[in-house]
Structure 1
Amino acid sequence: MANVERVEVLKGPGSILYGRADPGGVINIVTKQPLADPYYSLQQQFGSYDFYRTAIDATGPLTADKSLRYRVNLSYEDAHSFKEFNKNENIFIAPVLVWEISPRTRVGLELEYANIRSPVDIGIPPLNGKPILLPRERNLGESWAKRNNEQILVGLNWSHDFNDAWNIKQRFNTQLVTEDEVYVGRNGWIGDGVDSRYYGQQTDTMNTYFTNVDLTGKFDTWGAKHTLLLGGDYYQQDEMADYADYIGDLPINVYNPSHLANRPSLAGGDVGQYGSLTEWYGVYLQDQIKLPFNLHALGGLRYDNATTTDNFAPFSSYVDDRVSPRGGLLWRPIPQLSVYGSYTENFGATNAFDQDNKPLRPQTARQWEVGVKTELWDERFTGTLAYFDLTKQNMPTVDPLHPNRSVAIGEVASRGLEVDLAGKILPGWQIIGAYAYTPFVEVTKDYADDGTGNVTPGKTGKRNPNVARHNGSLWTTYEFQSGELNGLTLGGGATAIGNRKGDFDNSYTLPGYAVFNLMAGYKLKLGGSRASLQLNVDNLLDKTYYSGSNGGQVIHYGMPRTFMGSLRIEY
């Protein structure tokens, strides 16, 4: 997160504009860009469980006319965990160059390098329909189960304004990922508190290439104002993995664990390879129209063609193509209120592999949505109430017979209400909150082989794991505007989640929970510099809760009470 300016959450299927995306929505990460004026920042964070993180941010012009600018973000993190054996060490660097060739033409070059060393946590198992009661710090894995992930990203983007109405831009990204992992997983209960485990190691390389071109224009026709977008993109992902699994069994008594000092030999175990090459072409057209009587219309189409081929014998290949429509209408009878409705379809993707090491088919989805939006107090406060009806096909989940592989759910439907509130109520007082009521989210078609039929009956009507009927959060901060407390910010909030099913069999339930958080921050000037102090307390009441499951038989504890302090110097 060292080079992240902000994170945008775009709800609902978004593949018409963003291509290969999850049907549930898109997370858009906006990175920090070079500034025309020099700016430097040094941040030191420290917290519970020996957490230490240092971040540096430097930016400014490289030429007198400020047309060539740079920015460099670096961070180093060394942190332990509330769980045994769990230690993280992360190194990250992200330099960026931007060249303003002319007032209408811009070129940017960015690089990211990350080396992430983290533990492999197998969580805890369920027993008798609920999570087994164990100390939060207990680790049922092994100290030698580790993951080392190295990532390199190179991005090139440019844009040109033909005039005030028409613009073209292109982005090219390539990401090279190498991951070495020694893992421990669960096979299932043996009995009398003894759990069966498996062990293996894997080396995975994933090279991804992406480019897109967008042409955007604004024009008027017969009293209607158009914003037209025409574009195309290309995506390629080449993944190859070598793995070896221990052929025996690694039993462990979950109540009185005895850990292995050394890894067992993999000699005679299950050795194999899997991987795939995916090539994805897409073209799209969208028109956003401002009509008379405060009406706004949106319409678009996207065509995708995706080819996936196994990298290893026995070779197999399949081609999917699809036309995805998108449409919506919004009416704004008064400046403070809008009523809208929309329909969209999605042609997404999956990186999962089945028991035969074959890649699963892409996810698809369709969604209806209606709602109202409001803007109050000179647009300082916004609110949305929405009803959604979303259906996904080919959603991957854990294979119950092969826990380290996946199967595709034939179809899952989700319907419910969402409320979002955000803004500034009074000077210095800000609030953000959300609530979701999802009474219906269940499997409507069972595990599907290739879309031709159900191969594992019995899941129809089961509720989707990790989705509560009730889910809400509220956060508020107040910054003193004057007087002796000027510069002081106080904040607090809570997250509450109801009961959830842990797997698609609905064989166990994760209990609901509420977690309270607090923060205090203080800003002051030190000559030409600025200093910011902040303290966060998460899970203030030290609630023992379960953050979620893997959709199968692995459950994870949430964080205990955690303190995080930060000191930032800017100049």
Structure 2
Amino acid sequence: MKNAFIDCSNGENMGKNTSSLRLSLLASGLLLASTVHAKSAVYSLDIPAQALDKTLNALAAQTGSRILFATDVAEGRQAVALHAQLSVEQALERIVGNTGLVAQKTADGSYLIAAPNKSDALELGATTIQAAGLGINTEDSPSYTTGAVSIGKSERPLKDIPQSISVLTAQRIKDQNIQTLDDVYNNLPGVITYGYMVGDNQPYARGFQIDNYQINGIPLPNGNSITSQNWADLVPYERVELLKGSAGLFQGAGSPGGAINLVRKRASSDFHISTTTSAGRWDNYRQQIDVQGPLNEDKSVRGRLVTSYGDRGYFYDNAKTERSSTYGVLEFDLSPQTLISAGFSYQNVNNRGVMDFGLPAYKTGANIDWKRSTNLSSPSDYNDVETTQVFLEAKHQINDDWRMSLTTNYTKLNLDTIYSNTGGLIDPLTHGGGYNWAESRSENNYQYNTDAYLNGHFELLERRHEVILGANVTHAKRDSGRYETQEYEETKSIPSIIDFIPPRYDRLARYRTVKSTLDQQGVYGSLRMNVLEPLDVIVGARVSWWDYSQDQIAEPSGVSKLSGQKTNAKVVPFYGLVYALTQNWSAYGSYSEIFSPQTDFMTYAGDTLSPRSGETYELGLKGELYGGALNTSFAIYQTNFNGRAQIDKSYASPCNSPFTTLCHIAGGKVRSEGFEAEVNGRVMTGLQLSASYTYTRSRYLENPDDVSLEGRSFLTQMPAHAARVWANYTLPDEFAKWQVGAGARIQSGTYMLGSGMKHEGSGYALYNARIAYDITKSVSLSMNVENIFDRVYYAQTGPVESQNYYGAPRNMTFTLRTNF
């Protein structure tokens, strides 16, 4: 009689049937002589007591391992619960300890579960795949999806989380040649960017700015310019997680657009050295070296060092960027239950002549027929950013059910810049009406962030529940200077902007100093109750204390204006439901809140405006198919944002201050609603897909500043329709060394209002492609092509005066990768 042979792997061979074969467990040259006991990577496991085959499948899914066993070996056997931080080997020792079986590791890194001392050959039948085998770490996975995410403190599969979450995996980052955070924004579902192209180009989703950032789940509150330009390069990070909607439970203050979690790379217990060398159009060159491995004999100490250097030009004239990045981490296994990680990252970015304010249009709203190579920035424009971060993280598994984590970060940012603006209300006949000016500023900022939490499971009424309790603290300081530049006081009038050559500028005296301090503390808790077999109810809350103070000093008079804002014991609730329709599909609903300080607006009393409050309602359906190799999600949502700044018409300008011109009150309300669909992962053997569609509708509900806007869109630069598609296919059989990829970015038109004029931007569809070849098992060569059909389009449409940017023409990048 033939036995079905179960392969809990990454699902790449799902659906393939193999002819029966015979394998001797003792004689096979694939097996190592010893049973499993080696020390390797540690995972946070959460597997209940259940049938052995289900436990082995769950272990494969949570660790990304390949585990093989015959059905008759697992039949009728039970496995113990695993709620601990263990390596795969340690977990298998516990699983098979009372079953009379042994776990053996093969030469290719797979694990084989079998009866001991079985001398007769085992006949294996058709192979089937039972689990995707995707762990939370995506670096060693070929998948475009992940087995779990960490943005909510507890590592859970996507279908068990009652909010929309998108993941940009390590494989997609490699395949699409994603190098910077701006590249990330362009490839996340439903995300657009708007702003100034050097450092202040901010992401938006669901009609609101995304100003909430996390690193390994630790919030870094926005407010002191720390997050604007900090993480331009992805060198320290292996994946990016995006939670859409209000993220106040673990984040604290922020906008309801969502939160971006950057997950750091970890050190391997095996030695690896890899290099990435790329060259592309416009003198775009980059080199990266990555070295990692054990630092002692038993591999309890591991290290990793990644460094990169890039030098690039742009498709427009007289601009270049030089970027260097270094990331290092050390990991220490103090015991089987305790892991300590310490490390740093350093990035230095030097921009020269890069466009800040883009191009103007005609005052009629028509576009000027600029060459795509046109650059109206001054040749003296520069933007230098230096960022340093150090971190320390401790994780401890208290017992099978409880674990705790403590993380602290220190981030320092220095910025120095001169930027110019050439724009205006341009006459279509004379090309007159333009202006040119420049300003200079400096930033010296730092912030400390500490987060500690306890995560555990408990039994109540014969059901298993989960609780998270934690607290985080932020202290940030900012010292910012604004400087006049040569001829700054004389705003130039340009006779013909077509013939204008921007002048050079030099920094002169400082005319304003801004010093600010931000302190935020918060305690949070979440309870996930399994009230019925298919139904989980999640309730949570955060209590926040937010204290912001600012001192604006006019130079050289020394006139000072103090302002501040405090929010005490602000309660932000969260409610969620997850209902398991089947083993693969779940339906969910959630309600979440967030609050957002308005420190840039002043009241007549001289205080900063009270915070805005956001609330998000969301319903959705999620699927985990092919054993987790493919994740899908569908969601509808509505977000309301209340208390937006409005002009206080009761008081004339200036507003009791030497710096502001108008007083404000909190009186506006806006709403965004829409639909999202997303598919990520393996759709067939060798084919990885990431596809998404988003529909977004925003409108003013209350707008005392201009009641005529009520009912109209409040974020007109957000397209109503947007789609992102990327697929990569590994050819079969004798062509398996080849890969081909293709994708598209499609969005509908946008517009901006300014100076009484509507400036419209057309929708567009861009097509990209990739081809790659494995020269050897350790060396590969790839070519990425962007904007294949060389479409001329505006990547950003601003008002008629400025902030209009062409998208890049067709370009190619060649990349050589080695991995030993």
TM (norm. structure 2) is: 0.64
- Choose which of 692, 695, 713 in structure 2 pairs with 1:434: 692
Residue 122 of structure 1: how far off its partner (Å) = 1.4
* Residue 273 in structure 1 maps to residue 513 in structure 2: yes
1:492-539 Cα distance to aligned partner (Å, 9 max, x none) = 01111101122587722211000000001122436xxx0121110011
Q: Which residue of 1 aligns with 2:298?
A: 65
Are residue 389 (structure 1) and residue 638 (structure 2) matched? yes
Question: Residue type of the partner of 2:396?
Answer: H
Task: Measure, in 1, the Cα distance between the counterparts of 2:469 and 2:634.
Answer: 31
Deviations 1:262-306 (A, max 9, x none): 326746xx8112242111111111012223241111110011111
Say whether the 8 Å CA contact 1:43–1:568 is kept in structure 2. yes
Q: How much is the aligned-residue C-alpha RMSD, in angstroms?
A: 2.9
Shift of 1:426: 1.1
Structure 2 segments unaligned to the other structure (5+ residues) = 1-233, 553-559, 647-653
Matched residue, 2:464: 225
Q: Distance in 2 between matches of 1:157 and 1:340?
A: 33
Aligned counterpart, 1:449: none
Shift of 1:3: 2.5
Are 2:502 and 1:249 aligned?
Answer: no
Match of 1:516 in 2: 767
Higher deviation after alignment, 25-34 or 333-342: 333-342
Q: Deviations over 1:121-149 (max 9, x none)?
A: 21012332354331111111111111000
Match among 308, 316, 319 for residue 563 of structure 2: 316
Cα distance change of structure 1 residues 248 and 477 upon mapping to structure 2, 3 Å threshold = same
Given residue 689 of structure 2, which amino acid in structure 1 is its aligned partner? I
Q: Which residue of 1 aligns with 2:86?
A: none
| Preserved CA contact (<8 Å) 1:518 1:540 | yes
The secondary structure found in structure 2 opposite 1:311 is: strand
Find the aligned partners of 2:306 and 2:764 in 1 and give their Cα distance: 37
Which residue pairs with 1:411 in the alignment?
669
8 Å contact kept, 2:565–2:608: no
Work out whether residues 376 and 422 of structure 2, in 8 Å CA contact, stay in contact via their aligned partners in 1: no
Instruction: Map 1:305-344 onto structure 2 (within 5 A).
Output: 305-312=545-552, 313-321=560-568, 322-344=570-592
Q: Which has the larger radius of gyration?
A: 2
Aligned to 1:87: 320
Match of 2:736 among 486, 496, 500: 486
Aligned to 1:161: 397
Contact 2:760/2:797, CA 8 A, preserved across alignment: no
Q: More strand by proportion, 1 or 2?
A: 1
Q: Which residue of 2 aligns with 1:199?
A: 438
Aligned to 2:815: 566
Does the 8 Å contact 2:439/2:482 carry over to 1? Answer: yes
Asked if 1 retains the 8 angstrom alpha-carbon contact of 2:748 and 2:763, the reply is yes
Cα deviation, 1:104-126, whole Å, max 9, x if unaligned, reads: 11111111111101234210123
Q: Which SS does the other structure have where 2:562 is aligned? A: coil
Per the TM alignment, residue 434 of structure 1 is displaced from its structure 2 partner at its CA by 0.5
Bigger shift: residues 240-249 or 370-379? 370-379
**Which of 124, 134, 149 is residue 385 of structure 2 equivalent to?**
149
Identify the residue that residue 215 of structure 1 maps to in structure 2.
454
Q: How much has 1:8 moved relative to structure 2?
A: 1.2
More helix by share: 2
Q: Do 1:107 and 1:156's aligned partners in 2 also have CA atoms closer than 8 Å? A: yes
| 2:246 counterpart SS class | coil
Tell me the equivalent position of 1:6.
Answer: 239
- The residue aligned with 1:545 is 793
Aligned to 2:266: 33
Using the TM superposition, give the Cα deviation of residue 406 of structure 1 relative to its aligned residue in structure 2, in angstroms.
13
Output the CA distance in 1 between the equivalents of 2:289 and 2:493: 46
1:450 is aligned to none
SS in 2 for 1:378: helix
Question: Quick check: 1:365 aligned with 2:614?
Answer: yes
Is the contact between residue 546 and residue 555 of structure 1 (CA under 8 Å) also seen in structure 2?
A: yes
2:338 is aligned with 1:105: yes
Identity %: 26
**Contact 2:355–2:375 (8 Å) recurs in 1:** no
* Contact 1:363/1:394 (8 A) holds in 2: yes
Question: Do the aligned partners of residues 394 and 55 (structure 1) sit closer, same or farther apart at CA in structure 2, a change above 3 Å counting?
Answer: farther
The question of 1:283 aligning with 2:495 is answered no
- What is the deviation of 1:222? 0.8
Taking structure 1 as the reference length, the TM-score comes to: 0.90
* 1:258 paired residue number: 501
8 Å CA contact retained: 2:277, 2:815: yes
Indicate the SS of the match to 1:255: helix
Within a 5 Å distance, the mapping from 1:39-78 to structure 2 comes to 39-78=272-311
Query: Which residue type is aligned with residue 123 of structure 1?
Result: G
Q: Which residue of 1 aligns with 2:408?
A: 172
What's the secondary structure of 1:36's corresponding residue?
A: coil
Rounded to whole Å, the distance in 2 between the matches of 1:472 and 1:395 is 30
Equivalent position amino acid for 1:431 in 2: L
**Equivalent position of 1:121 in the other structure:** 356
1:435 CA displacement: 0.5
